[in-house]
Amino acid sequence: MVRRPASNSRRAPALLLLLIAAAGASATRAAAQPAASLARHVPADVTLFVELGGDADLLIPLTDAHVWSTLAELAGQPASADDAAEWRRRVNHTLLMEPDEAIRLLFSRGVAFIAGDGPAPESALLCRLAPGTTLLELATRWQARPIPFADKAAVYQLRNGIGLGAFDDRMIFGDPGPESTLFPALLRSIADEPVESLADDEQYRSLLRRVPDRPDGVLFTRLAPRPAPRADTQSTTTAPAEVRTAAAIPPRPLPALRGVTDLPGPFRGSTSVLLALHRKAEILQFTAVGDAPAQPRREDDADAARLIERLPERTLLAWGGVLDHTALLRAADSLPAQNLIRVAVGTQAQPLGRLTAALTGSTAVAIGTVPARDGAPAPALPAAAVLLRARDAQAAEDELTRFLQSLVSVYNLLSLRAGLPLLEASSDLTIAGSAAHAIDFTPLAQSTLGEAYGRIELTWARDDDVLIVASHADWLRQILEARKGRRADLSRVTRLGQRPPSPASETLIVAHLGPIADLCADWLTHFEQAQPQVLREDYWRIRQPGPPRLGINVAQPPEQRRLEVVSLERGAAAAGLVRPGDWIVGAEGRRFSTAQPVAEFREAITQRRNSRRVELLVERSGVMTPVSIHVEFLDPVSVLRRLRALGTIAQRVVYHDDRPDGAGPRGFLTVELRASRARLFSFQEPPAVVPAAPDDR
C-alpha cells in the first residue's frame, strides 16, 4: 500500500495569509468589529492565528511567484518560484479558478490562517461565504464530494486531498486525513459547539487589550505550550467540555522566524506575541506586544536610535541593537581548527580582550552602495559597515588596528602555501576630515570575484565615541559626512511610524525595500547582458558550500537493502516527516538495489532532480510513503529576484521596540507601501555634499 506523499507542502494552501502578515500588504480599509472576529470560531489551543479583513484586491500582489516563495521561506516553508507555479496550478486544479479569482471570492469578508503544532504541523484556512454565494453553488463548481460527518458541519472532499468544512456562512479548508487533529477541531468550532475558543483565551485577550482598538488585522502566535485555563477566567459563554490543550506541545519558535535564534530585544523570553495592524493610507502600522518579563538594561546599551539616525539617508538596510562581543569571541572556538578567523582570534586573545573591554554592547550594521570601479560595466556595489559605541574610543581604535595588522600577517603566512595574493600592511589616510586606516583587499577580491567589483578596502576610523569599520572607503566617507551633518541622514525615515524611536529603544531596523529592489533589478539586467550563465540554477548547483544535510541518522542492518532511521538531529530538515523506526527503502524515484544502500543514498542526494528537495521512499508500519524533504540551496540570483519582487510592494520598513508598558514588551513596525515604480533615489548620481577638504581621498 502506498500512501499519499508526506510533505510540509500541506501548508501551501494557507501560506498566503502568513505572507500577508509578514509583508504587511494585506491591510484592510474597514476595521473588523470584535464581535465579528473569526477568533470566536477557532480552538483556543492553536499556535498561530492570523486574521485579516476584506479588501481582497490588496492580496493579489502576493501571488507573484517570487514574493510568494520569499515569504514562504520566512514561514518555515522552503519554496522556489517553481513551487509557486505549482501552487497556482494546484489552486486552479482544486477550485477550478485562478488564484486571483479565488482570493476575491473567498477572502472578501475576511479570512484567517490557523496553525497547530505537534508531531506533524497542520494548518487551515477559515473564511466566510461571499454575499450572494451559496455553499451548494461552490460545491457544485468545485466538484466536491460529500464526506460523512457526525456533527453539525457539512464536510466535503475537494481535489488534491483538500478538505472543505462549512456551517452557516463559515468555511474551512484543511487536511481531512485520519491523522489530522486541527481540521476536526475547527469543524466543531465553526459549528458553535461548546469548545473553548481563542477569543476566550486569557493569553490572547490580555495581549489584545494592550494594542490600539479596532485593528485591521491580527497575528497571534504561541512560542511555548499554552497554560491550562484557570477556573476563574473560564468564559461564562463556554459550556464545560473536554478541551484539547497544548500541554504536550514542545516550545518552538515563531513559524515566521523559524531558523532565527531569538526574538528582537525585549521580546526575548516571551511565550506569546501579538501584532495588530492599523492602516493610514499607504502606511501600515503594526503594534507588537509580548508577555516576557521586563529585563534590566544598561544605559549605554539603549543606543540604537542615536547610531541609526545619523547614518546616510541612502542607507539600504540598517540594524541597531546590542551585541555581546565576548560571546562572539567564544563562538570562534567552534570554527574549524585551520580557519583563519579562529587562528587569528586564538593568537590575539589579549588584544581582542582589551578591544572588547573598550566597547559597549551598542552596535549598528549599515548596508549602502558605492560606485563600481571606474570604467567597469557594473551597477553600484553593496558596501557594509559596523558602528561600535566605545567607552574608550581611542583604545578601541588602537587595539583594532593591532589586531587587523596581525591578521594580515597570519594571512600572508598561510597564503604562501595556498598560492593566494599577498596583502600589504595597513595605511593611514584622511576621510571626511577624520584620521582613518585601511587595508587593501583588492588583489584578493579581484582574484576571486573579478575586476568588475572594484577596489575593496577594509577601512576604519573613529568619530567621537564611535568606532566605524567599513568594507569600502567610499562608504565610510558617506557615513562620516552624514554624522558631521554634511549630507542628509536617516533621522526623517526613522520617524515614519506612529511614534519615533525613544532613547530606550534597544533594537531599531530600517530597510529601504524599494531601492533594494531597484538595485537588484540593475544587477539582474547586468547579469543577463554580461554573465547570463549565472542566471541558471545549474551554475550554482556545483558551487554549494557543501552537500545538503537531512539530519537523519541511519543504521544499515546486515545484508539488507534498506536503512533504519535511528534518530533525527535537532532542527533536522526531515523533522515531522521521518520518524525513528522508519525504514528508508529508496530515494529519488528508485529503490535501493545493492547491499550498500548508504552509498546509493548519498549518490541520490548528490544527483537529486530538484535542487531544493530530496525525495525519499519510506516504509512505516508496512506502508510505503513518498516523503519530500526541503533542503538548503544557495542561489544568489534567486535572492535578487525575491528582493526585487518584495520591493514592488513596500518602499520602506521601520521597526523599533520601546520600554515595556508595564505588562510586557512592545514594539512598532511601520511599512510604507510603494505607490509607483518611480525610484526613490539613483545609485549612479551621487548626492550633493559639502566639498571635501583638499587632503581627503
Cα–Cα distance, 278 to 284 (Å, whole number): 6
pLDDT, residue 60, reads 64
Provide φ and ψ at 201, rounded to 5°: -75, 130
DSSP one-letter string for 640-687: HHHHHHHTTTEEEEEEEEE---SSS-EEEEEEEEP--SS-SS-SSSPP
pTM: 0.79
Residue 457 has pLDDT above 90, yes or no: no
Residue 386 has pLDDT above 80, yes or no: yes
CB atoms near residue 413 (< 10 Å):
11
Do residues 347 and 406 make contact, with C-beta atoms less than 8 angstroms apart?
A: yes
Residue 309 has pLDDT above 50, yes or no: yes
Mean pLDDT over 392-405 rounds to 91
pLDDT, residue 417, reads 76
Q: How far is CA 565 from CA 60, 552, 559, 612, 618, in A?
A: 43, 7, 16, 22, 10
Mean pLDDT over 36-45 rounds to 89
pLDDT, residue 298, reads 54
Do residues 25 and 673 make contact, with C-beta atoms less than 8 angstroms apart?
A: yes
Which domains are assigned to the chain?
37-58+106-262 (no CATH), 304-512+649-673 (no CATH), 544-630 (2.30.42.10)
Do residues 247 and 226 make contact, with C-beta atoms less than 8 angstroms apart?
A: yes
Residue 601 has pLDDT above 60, yes or no: yes
Cα–Cα distance, 58 to 19 (Å, whole number): 12
Q: Is the dihedral of CA 354, 360, 364, 370 positive or negative?
A: negative
Q: Where are the beta strands (DSSP E) in 504-622?
A: 508-511, 552-555, 563-568, 583-587, 590-591, 613-620
DSSP one-letter string for 392-437: SHHHHHHHHHHHHHHHHHHHHHHHHHHTPPP-PPPEEEEETTEEEE
Residue 410 has pLDDT above 80, yes or no: no
Mean pLDDT over 363-381 rounds to 86
pLDDT, residue 303, reads 76
pLDDT over 90 percentage in the chain: 34
pLDDT over 70 percentage in the chain: 78
Residue, of 441 and 454, whose pLDDT is higher: 441
Nearest by Cα to 46 from 66, 18, 19, 24: 18
